[in-house]
Amino acid sequence: MNKDLLSIKELDRADIMAILKRARYFKDALKNGDKTPTLAGRTLALIFDKSSTRTRVSFEVGIRQLGGSAIFLNRGDIQIGRGESIADTARVLSRYVDGVVIRTFSHDTVEEFALNATVPVINGLTDLLHPCQVLSDLFTIEEKRGTLDHVRVCYIGDGNNMAHSWIYAAAKLPIQLTIACPAGYEPDEAILAEGKKSASDGITLCHAPAEACDGADVLYTDVWTSMGQEEEQGKRQRAFREYQINQALLVRARADAIVMHCLPAHRGEEITADVIDGPQSVVIDQAENRLHVQKAIMDCLMGGKTSDEKD
């Protein structure tokens, strides 16, 4: 595994499965009350330009459960907010902490930081990618369905950072991915083309959400308007009106299909309340699993102790 986790693209299948296996170990250990201080004495810095609930809390709680500590830094807390270069910030923080999570707008920022840091850097979200979320989603699907092999995932909504991360996941694993989005809101063309080249079970882009749901094992969606797009909200609500997971779409999926959402959710927009709060929704389990998967990521990157469970 590389020093950093910036994108699922940089992982191979063995890396992904090792993270998921380690997450299962940590989840089971926590349930059994076992202490797993594999990162005792280590410190994680969290640099956030975007607000967060799940990413921040799961990383802070996770590092503490592993015996380490966390320092939360927004742009106004550090000199990068007053013009210090990303490179200098990365070099200096590398002398103080054992790992860095960055949640920001431009993916270039995360890449430049990782290039200059000597400690692991984890992408907590950029406008381009959200790898930690999709790794947690993979863990949840495996947990609920028993396998990831040949699972049919239907993603409905914006071709955003979530769609891009799902494309990279489908390029690494035998997952059949269908993305349904309005014209003009498709995923990045280069990312889509790259994913299609490597995806063993195929990646399909379409503009018909109903057909996309046919026979799906997983229905997945995200908000229509992400952070930084607030000025487009009215336009997006009109464009995405038909791209809502509701009962009419759910009945087209497999009878045992699960419903997923990376949260926060806007009930009545991208998903209806009866579906997200219904019996086929695994959204809260999905959110919980951010904790266990991010513990696994930190453990793999920040030098956790070797154990049989980690092999």
> What is the extent of the structural domain holding 21?
8-130+289-301
For residues 157 and 233, membership in a common domain is answered with: yes
Q: Which of 196, 180, 201 is nearest to 249 (CA)?
A: 180
Average pLDDT per block of 10 residues along the chain, 311 residues long = 97 97 98 94 96 96 98 89 90 98 97 98 98 98 98 97 98 98 97 97 97 96 85 90 97 98 96 98 98 98 60 44
Residues 134-190: tens digit of each pLDDT: 999 999 999 999 999 999 999 999 999 999 999 999 999 999 999 999 999 999 999
Indicate if 193 and 246 belong to the same structural domain: yes
Q: Determine, yes or no, domain membership for 2.
A: no
Pairing mode of beta strands 218-221, 175-180: unpaired
For residues 28 and 105, membership in a common domain is answered with yes
Catalytic residues: 103, 130, 133, 222, 262, 290
Task: Please tell me whether residues 276 and 140 are part of one structural domain.
Answer: yes
Within this chain, do residues 112 and 160 fall inside the same structural domain, yes or no?
no
What's the pLDDT score for residue 82? 78
Q: Are residues 52 and 152 in the same domain?
A: no
Are 116 and 233 within one domain?
A: no
Question: What CATH number is given to the structural domain containing 191?
Answer: 3.40.50.1370
CA 174 to chain CA mean position, Å: 18
Is 308 inside a domain boundary? no
Q: In this structure, how many other beta carbons lie within 10 angstroms of the beta carbon of residue 207?
A: 16
Q: b/e map of 262-291 (b: 16 or more CB within 10 Å)?
A: bbebeeebbbbeebbeeebbbbeebbebbb
Closest to 291 (Cα-Cα) out of 129, 86, 135? 135
Residues 160 and 235 in one domain: yes
Residues 208, 122, single domain; the answer is no
Has residue 76 been placed in a domain?
A: yes
In this structure, is residue 311 part of a structural domain?
A: no
What pLDDT does 135 receive?
98
In a domain, 202, yes or no: yes
pLDDT at 89: 96
Retrieve residue 222's tokens: 């995200």
Q: How do the residues of the chain divide into helix, strand and coil, expressed in percent and rounded to 5?
A: 45, 15, 40
**Tokens encoding 75:** 């742009």
Q: Are residues 102 and 182 in the same domain?
A: no
- pLDDT of amino acid 304: 57
Instruction: Provide the number of structural domains found in the chain.
Output: 2
In eight-state DSSP terms, residue 203 is E
Domain membership of residue 3 (yes or no) is no
> Is there a single domain that holds both residue 93 and residue 165?
no
pLDDT for residue 198: 97
Give the pLDDT confidence score for residue 307 in this predicted structure.
Answer: 40
Q: Considering the domain boundaries, does residue 102 fall inside one?
A: yes
The predicted model scores a pTM of 0.95
pLDDT tens readout for residues 188-199: 999 999 999 999
Cβ neighbours, 10 Å, residue 53: 11
What span, in angstroms and rounded, lies between the C-alpha atoms of 250 and 244? 10
Examine residue 310 and state whether it is found in any structural domain, yes or no. Answer: no
Copy the structure tokens of residue 98: 């054992």
Residue 175 and residue 258 in one domain? yes
The rounded distance, in Å, linking the Cα atoms of 308 and 301 is: 17
